[in-house]
Structures are given as structure tokens and as C-alpha cells.
Chains A and B, each alone.
Chain A
Amino acid sequence: MSELSINPGIEIRDSERELDRFRRRLATLGFFVLTLFGLLFLRFFYLQVIQHSHYSTLAEANRISVLPIAPHRGIIVDRNGVMLAHNYSAYTLEITPSKLQSLEETIDGLSGIIEITPRDRRRFRKLLEESKSFESLPIRTRLSDEEIARFAVHRYRFPGVEAKARLFRQYPQGEMFSHVVGHIGRINKREVEQLEDDGRLANYRGSDYIGKTGVEQSYEKFLHGTTGVEEVEVDSGGRAVRTLSRTPPVSGNNLVLNLDAKLQEVAYNAFGDRRGALVAIDPATGGILAFVSKPGFDPNLFVDGIDPQSWSELNGSPDKPLLNRASAGTYPPGSTFKPFMALAALFYGKRTPQQVISDPGYFMFGGHRFRDSRPVPLGMVDMYRSIVMSSDVYYYMLASELGIDPLAQFMALFGFGSRTGIDISGEAAGILPSTDWKWRRYKQKWYAGETISVGIGQGYNSYTPLQLASATATVANNGVMFRPHIVNHVEDIRTREKTLIESQPLRELAIKPEHFKVVRDAMAGVNKEGTGARVFANAPYTSAGKTGTAQVIAIKQGEKYVESRVAEEHRDHSLFIVYAPADKPTIALAVIAENAGFGARAAAPVARQVLDYYLLGKLPAVTGGKR
């Protein structure tokens, strides 16, 4: 090393010292290297030994995603297999807001390739407010194949937007069944809480929809099915790479209704432009054959969240299409109450069928003159004539003699004033007036004078068409009462096993058959020679009915009700109850046509068309009535 130096002695020493110092410095750096590598080792030890299980869990959580597989919702068919609610597969365009930079820009961008209406935007905005931002929400539903193709081409431009093939619920019968079949809709926060309380929330992971109204809601447990689970390995983009395990979902059960879709259609159309409700029941089973509330609405609007404009149109309409008139609307029964009053008279022994009273056209009570609605007094009236000709005076007197509380106790037997327990929710109880009821409701005592108008189905009386139909069916069935039910049976789609709904009678009323016979004969007389005779003229079957007219506003004493002078929404409601055939009834029904005047004029023709179809298979030549 030193050979090159001129002055070896000094240079060597100097160079040796230099080299020594250099090597010490190098050793220092070597120590530095070892220290830092030691640090790395400690870090590895910490991560890979001490914290290993933690990071292992994180890696697994990264890797495995448990995906729920929503089951197919059961379908709903009528008694003949006509489809009322089914599923079909289509594409939706869904946005996950949390994955987006700008929601507005994305939607604007999408609208460049796929039609997105202002209505879609409004609907989306409403959904957005109701949900969490990491949920994927549909901006457009039911995309055409062409639209899907166009989106697929531009897909890369829209991270966070996905086209998904999904099953859609559809109600092919539209507004006719809106109140009875009901509809599903996106699960809201309240329903999530409810599901959580019931311990059913786990089964709804992966479900976006839940039954909201009608049998869709009340049979939710049967329709929904059991959610399946798929464990998949996902990559960092969340895409499934492969399936690790899979528990298939179990489809929901199908519902077969008692309803007859064609009958429902005949009934719905028979109302024409009128608002109203009709409930038809098979008296032998309590099965609901038709359940009409008119106007209805298109339930398909609600499935993916209704847009605010359509909602306010429906909600603000004076025709109240969202009100289920058949089971949540209550009306005074009017004269249709009279057959039940007659039964009460016989039950309590206040009248014999032959007992005759004099009808002068009015009834005086406590200085108040209760008028009969007919212009000409009936004269001598027995029970048969009281029903056939619909005498008010007969029932004014009877009610007055019976007293409100015995009357109420008897009417309660027929289900008046209490919920029938029909298998859809939202049922109204109605009002069966009694001293007790008035005290609870108004903290006032009952005045005897108030009993009088109750006798002709006016006053505080207020019942749902469903209650009226159920009571009529009970008369038709000689006192054997069933709980009205819409669903006939639930069908397990795998085992084909059928579970019948409500096959047992609810109760049997302790009313003598001969008493029923008197009233039934009188009701048959109504359609033969009484107030319903004209409408049922030439019917090839026998039927037993009763017309009714329910006042909407009170008429002052001494004044006369003139229809043309009264605003339409204050005109009388037209009611009709009937069962047929009279001797061996297979159908019992109640009709109300709102603000349509005398029962024989509007409600009875609806009933005639329904019976003609049900008993004869005859379709009405001209549908619809006049206002």
C-alpha cells in the first residue's frame, strides 16, 4: 500500500492513522446498520407475532365478504290462479352515493347515455334522504337491453354506478287490487327497528323491500322467504373472485286468495265514475270474494319509492284514492240496518212478525218529529212490510222501545262496531253507539231521543262496508259466523303443502232459525216486490237484499232534502246489502256508492252486476253507471 509513497515512514504512520479512523467510522456505520435492521426485526416481531391474530383478522375481513342472497318473494294469485303480484327480472341502474365524488355530475353524466327523467331524479332524491349513503339506490329501474348495452360501454366512466339484474315486484291488475293485495316498498327506518325487535332483521339482510299494505304486508312472513348466504372472496375492488360457501335462499310461499279476480273487475267497473266500496263474502267460509275500494291507485308506483309529485297527487286528491274504503272507511248503514233491527226485535221478543203498527209518516218523540223519508205514509206495517218497503217509523218506534244498550249488545253479536279481524291491517272499528260509548267518547250521557235515529241506521252509527258484508253473510249463513279472510291458503312452493287460513267458524249466534227465516224472507221480498225489485227484475236467481240511504249531513227539522240543491260531497250515500241465491246463499255482499243517493238507484245495480257474474258468469253489457 505504501510502496507508492516517497516518504514511507511518515506516510505510513499517517495513512495507518487515517485508515484506522476510517475503519472506526465504518464500524460505527456497521453498528448503525445493525441497529436499524434490529429495529426492523422488532417491527416484524411486533406485526407478525404479537399482533398477528389482529392482522390476520383484518386480512380475512378484507378477503371474505358475506353476501346475503335475497329469496324470491312468493307470488299472489286469485282463487283461479290469476296473477295478482309476481316478480320479473329486469335491470336497474344503481348508485352508491358514498363511492362518488359528485352525485350531481354522475347523474348528469348518466343522463347523457340513459334517459333519466326529472321524476326519476326526484324519486332518487327522496330515497337518498331516507337511506344511508353506502347503500346502493336505484336511479333508474326497468332498463331496456339497449340501455344496458349503452351503459356497459360507458361503465368505466362511472365508478359507484352499477347495473344490477334484480327481481321486480309487479302488480299486473293495477289499481283494482291496490287496497287488498297492497304493495311492497323499500324498507324504512321504522320497519328496520320493528324487524330488529322481532328478531327478524338478519333475514332481511339483502332484502330491500317489505310488504307495506294489504296482504303483502299481513302475510309478509310467508311471502318473504329465508335469506341465503354466500361467502365469497373479494378483491380490493369489492368484486367477488370466487365463492367459498353457499347456503341457498328459500323462496317465500305463494298466496292463493279467496278473491275472484274477474268478479273484482266486474265489481270495480260497475261503480263507473263513482267512489265507493264493495265487499263480497262467501258466507259458508268467510272467504272474501271481492274487495273493492274505488278509486284505487297504481300500486306499482310505490314499489321503488313513489316520486313526490305522484304522491301529492294521490294524497291530495279529493277522491281519496289512498283510503281503503272497504275496511277503513266508515259509513252510517242507513236502512240496511233494518233487517238486523228486526232480528233484535224478535230476539228480545219486542215484536212478533205479524204484529202491525201504524205508520203515519212520522214518529213523535219528546216533542220532536222524526220523519219518514218516503213522501207517502205506509199505513199499516208488519215486520215483513217494514223491511220490504223500508219503513222508518216502524224502526223509530222499535229502537225507542228496545233502548240503546240492548240494541248495541245485540248488534255487537254481528260484529258491528268491532274489527272483524280480516287478514289485512288498517281496519277501522266503526261506531256502535251505546251509553257507555257516548260516555267514553264525549263524557256525556245518552239521550233517549238519540236512540230513535240509530234504529234506521243513522245517528252515531258508523260501520265499515266490511262489517256490513260480514253481518250480511252471517244472516245468509243462519248465524254461523266466520272471520272474513282474503287469503284462502298459503302454498309452500317446494313441498306444495297448503296451509288453509281460517277454516273454522268464529262463532254461532244464539238466534233462533225461525227468526232468521222471518228476516230472510223479508229480505228476499225486497228484491221481489220491494225497494230492490226493479233492479233485480228478471233475475234468474233468487236473492235477498236491503237498500239503504245514508245521510251525510243532517237535515233541519221541517226542511226537505232535495238532492240537486246539495253539494255533491254532501249528498246521501247509496247502500245495498244482498245475498244470493236466497235459499242457499253462496255469496253475500255489501255495497256503498258515495254521494249517489237512494240505495236502489246506485248501489243495488252494482250488486246486480256482481251477482249476475258470480252466479251466472254473465258479464255486464255496458259497464259503468251514471253519476
Chain B
Amino acid sequence: MPFMLRRLYRFITGHIDGILLCGILLLMFTGLLVLLSASNGSYVRVSGQLMNMLVALGVMWLFANIPPHYLMRLALPLFITGCALLVGVALFGDVVNGARRWLHVGVTRIQPSELMKIALPLMLAWYFNRNEASLKLRNYLIAALLLVIPVALIARQPDLGTALLITAGGCYVIFLAGLSWRVISTLFVAGLASLPFLWPALHDYQRQRILTLLDPSGDPLGTGYHTIQSTIAVGSGGLLGKGWMNGTQTHLDFIPERTTDFIFAVYAEEFGLLGNVVLLLLLLFVIGRAMVITANAPTLFARLLAGAITLTFFTYAFVNIGMVSGILPVVGVPLPLISYGGTSLVSICLGFGILMSINTHKKLVQT
């Protein structure tokens, strides 16, 4: 009997990274706490989110148990499917809120750009891994092309936020794969120089969001409203916060989207600077652990994939918090593990599952 239990325990925890799981659970718990306040003490959302979390943890466990080389095989088909779906969206997609992002597939609708978030880093990691022995500038150019195709399709929808996030994910892979600093700095300068030419290519609402960031009071009831109210929430939180369930900005409905994209405003208002520091440290803890896993990954594919997952997680967190505290434009990015919503939770946990898999399948690769 104890033997059976031990085997069961081994089966469940065998590919789980305890340290990473600890950080994830702490963030999830924080998320539930804030969500309870953000939904005015209603347990309906909280229990829904709890279900989402269980599903996400299940997905994480599942992916933790899939050896990385299986994923490697999935890379190319997944990427091609993703691109095909994006083209499908461009041709037959549903228009919601002025953007063509959804595609009808049988009974349900999917947002192929979500798939791309994982498919692209996977693809790039696979590509670099395949050409590991002799990485030339040509390879980087091809990688850039692989990056540009889906990004262009997504940007056209238009969904600039997702496009930028996927670009960031791709860039992390290319950077980690060792693109020379000279090329990087050249690209950086060229990018800066092309900014004035990109501006006219943006949609009105996108330009508006950027202008709003520079001066939120310019349109206080329109696009500036979110930023103004969330900044007030953060600022009025002060050193120690107004206390859990006591945020006036939150409970009097001044914070828009307060259970999803703007949930950080609720957190910052109620827990103050102290709470923010704790949250940053918690995120750093998770990112740090993920980086350790990345650094110790056995293959280039694993390293690049782990790095992309780690830094995408960081990017989401940074962009979301930056947006809520008014230093980045408003883009639809949830705060990972905290914001309400199943999709984001599952995709984040899926990433962590892969990280755990990479960390726990090293020995298997070695033997």
C-alpha cells in the first residue's frame, strides 16, 4: 500500500517543479483574493476562476509530462496551422468591435492569434535547433521572416497589442539564439528612424491610445478615462493601501475592466506600495526560477523555448502593470495568473508545464 501511494505520488509530482509551482500557486491565490474584491465580494466569478485554475493546472501537469522532443515534432505543423488559420481569419473572420479576430470552426469560434503565441516561439526554437551547428545571418533572416508573416497577419486584424507581444516573444528567441550585437544595434537604430513612417500606418484608435498615454487628460471621458481612473486607483492606494475590499475606486465602479485587464489597479489600490513590491517580488521569483530552468535546459530547442516562455510571461506582466499604472498605452493584455479569464490562465500554465517538462526530462535525455 505505501508503495502504491509512493508510486502515485511519483506519478503526480514526478515532472512538477515544486519551486515554480509554489510561485504559481501564490500568484493564483493573490489573484483569487483580488478578484473577490474586484467582483464586490461575489463568489460566482471567484469560483469560476477557481475552476479555470484547476483546468489550467491540469493542462500544466499534462504538458509537464510531455517530453520536449514531442513538442519539437509539433512545431512545424502547429505553425503552419496557425498561419493558415490567420489567413482564414483575414478572409472569413467575424468582425467584433471593429476588428477581425475570430474564426468560426464548427460550433465554436477561435482566435488563432492565441495559438500563435505558443506556436511561433516553438517554431523558431525548432528552426534554430535544426540549424544549430551552423547559425549564419541567413538563418536569422529566415527566422525574422517566420516572425513577420504571422505578426503582419495579426497586426492587420487589427490587433496591435497581440502582434507586439508575439513579436517580443519571437525577438527573445532570436536574441537568445545569439544574433550578433552589431546587427541588433543596427536594427535598433533603423527601427527608431522608421518610427515617423510607421505613425501614419497606424489605425486611428491605435494612434489615439498612444496619444492618450502621453496626455491622458486630453480625452478624460474617452480613451483617457481608463488610464486616469486606474492611475488614481494606484496613486490613492499609498504606502499600505486602503485595505482589502476597501478600495473606493474599485467598489464604486470607477475602474473599468477591473476583474480582467485592469485588475492590478484593484490590487494596487487595496494593498498599496507594499503589496506592489510583494507582487513584483513574487513575479520575479517565478521569472527567476524559470530562468534557472532555462539556463539549465539540455538542448538549444529547450533553452530557446524556455527562454521565450519565461520572457513572454515577464512581458505580459510588465505590459499589463505598465498600462494600469499609466506608463504604457492601453492594450488588451491580462495580468498573468491574476486577471480573470480562462484562456490566458491556460496558455500561461501550458507554458509553465513546458518549462517543468524541460526541467524534469533532462535526465531522460541524458540516459
Residues on A facing B (Cβ under 8 Å): 1, 3-4, 18, 21-23, 25-26, 29-30, 33-34, 36-37, 39-41, 43-45, 47-49, 51-52, 54-56, 58-60, 62-63, 233-237, 241
Contacts and interface: CB of A to CB of B under 8 A. Distances in A.
Interface of B: 132, 172, 175-176, 178, 229, 231-239, 248-249, 252-254, 268, 272-273, 276-277, 280, 283-284, 287-288, 291, 294-295, 298, 300, 303, 307, 311, 314, 318, 321-322, 325-327, 365-366
B307 A43 contact: no
A55 B235 contact: yes
Given A36-B318, A39-B327, A40-B321, A48 B234 contact: yes
Ordered nearest first, which 3 A-B pairs have the shortest CB separation?
A55-B235, A59-B236, A47-B235
B233 A37 contact: no
Nearest to B294: A26
Given A62-B254, A236-B254, A48 B273 contact: yes
B49 to A, nearest CB: 24
Given A48-B272, A59-B249, A23 B321 contact: no
A63 B277 contact: no
A236 B253 contact: yes
A18 B253 contact: no
A30 B291 contact: yes
B267 to A, nearest CB: 11
B236 A52 contact: yes
A22 B301 CA distance: 12
Interface centre among A4, A36, A40 (most CB of B within 10 A): A40
B249 A29 contact: no
Given A29-B311, A33-B287, A48-B273, A56 B236 contact: yes
Given A44-B234, A44-B276, A56-B235, A29 B175 contact: yes
Contacts of A51: 235
B313 to A, nearest CB: 10
Contacts of B231: 47, 55
B300 A45 contact: no
15 contacts: A1-B366, A26-B176, A30-B288, A33-B287, A37-B283, A39-B327, A40-B280, A40-B318, A40-B321, A40-B325, A43-B322, A43-B325, A44-B277, A44-B325, A56-B236
A45 B235 CA distance: 9
Contacts of B314: 33, 36
Contact of A233 (B252, B273, B303): B252
A33 B321 CA distance: 13
Given A1-B298, A1-B366, A40-B280, A29 B232 contact: no
A18 to B, nearest CB: 7
A44 B268 contact: yes
Contacts of B318: 36-37, 40
Contacts of A44: 234, 268, 273, 276-277, 325
A59 B239 contact: no
Quick one: which of A1, A45, A48, A233 has the most chain B CB within 10 A?
A48
Given A30-B291, A48-B237, A62-B232, A22 B178 contact: yes
Contacts of A45: 273
A69 B38 CA distance: 33
Contacts of A40: 276, 280, 318, 321-322, 325, 327
Given A25-B175, A235-B252, 18 more contacts: A18-B132, A18-B178, A26-B294, A29-B176, A29-B291, A37-B283, A37-B318, A43-B325, A43-B327, A47-B234, A47-B325, A48-B273, A49-B273, A52-B235, A59-B248, A62-B249, A235-B253, A236-B229
B327 A29 contact: no
B361 to A, nearest CB: 13
Contact of A22 (B253, B303, B322): B303
Contact of B252 (A47, A56, A234): A234
A56 B325 CA distance: 15
A48 B252 contact: no
A413 B101 CA distance: 93
A46 B226 CA distance: 19
Contacts of A22: 176, 178, 295, 300, 303
A55 B238 CA distance: 9
A559 B9 CA distance: 132
Contact of A49 (B239, B249, B284): B239
A514 to B, nearest CB: 83
Contacts of B253: 235-237
Q: Which of the listed residues B132, B235, B268 has the most CB atoms from chain A within 10 Å of its own CB? A: B235
A233 to B, nearest CB: 7
Contacts of A234: 252
A63 B252 contact: yes
B252 A62 contact: yes
A51 B325 CA distance: 13
B270 to A, nearest CB: 12
A41 B327 CA distance: 12
Contacts of B307: 26, 29
Contacts of A52: 235-236, 238-239
A43 B234 CA distance: 10
B238 A49 contact: yes
A345 to B, nearest CB: 80
A146 to B, nearest CB: 33
Nearest to B133: A14
Contacts of A49: 238-239, 273
Contact of A37 (B235, B280, B327): B280
Contacts of B327: 39-40, 43
A18 B252 contact: no
A25 B176 contact: yes
B212 to A, nearest CB: 17
Contacts of B234: 44, 47-48, 55
A58 B236 contact: yes
Nearest to B306: A26
Nearest to A34: B284
A30 B293 CA distance: 13
Contacts of B268: 44, 48
A23 B295 contact: yes
Contacts of B300: 18, 22
A40 B264 CA distance: 12
A157 B84 CA distance: 43
B134 to A, nearest CB: 11
A25 B248 contact: no
A16 to B, nearest CB: 13
A267 B294 CA distance: 103
A49 B240 CA distance: 10
Nearest to A62: B254
A51 B291 CA distance: 35
Contacts of A60: 248
A32 to B, nearest CB: 8
B249 to A, nearest CB: 6
Contacts of B237: 48
A31 to B, nearest CB: 11
A367 to B, nearest CB: 85
A59 B232 contact: yes
A52 B276 CA distance: 14
Contacts of A237: 253
Contact of A26 (B283, B295, B325, B366): B295
A54 B176 contact: no
Nearest to B311: A29
Most buried by A among B252, B276, B298: B252
B229 to A, nearest CB: 8
A104 B98 CA distance: 27
A4 B233 CA distance: 56
Nearest to A234: B252
Given A26-B294, A36-B318, A62-B249, A56 B175 contact: no
B274 to A, nearest CB: 9
Nearest to A48: B273
A174 to B, nearest CB: 46
Contacts of B272: 48
A534 to B, nearest CB: 78
A36 B298 CA distance: 28
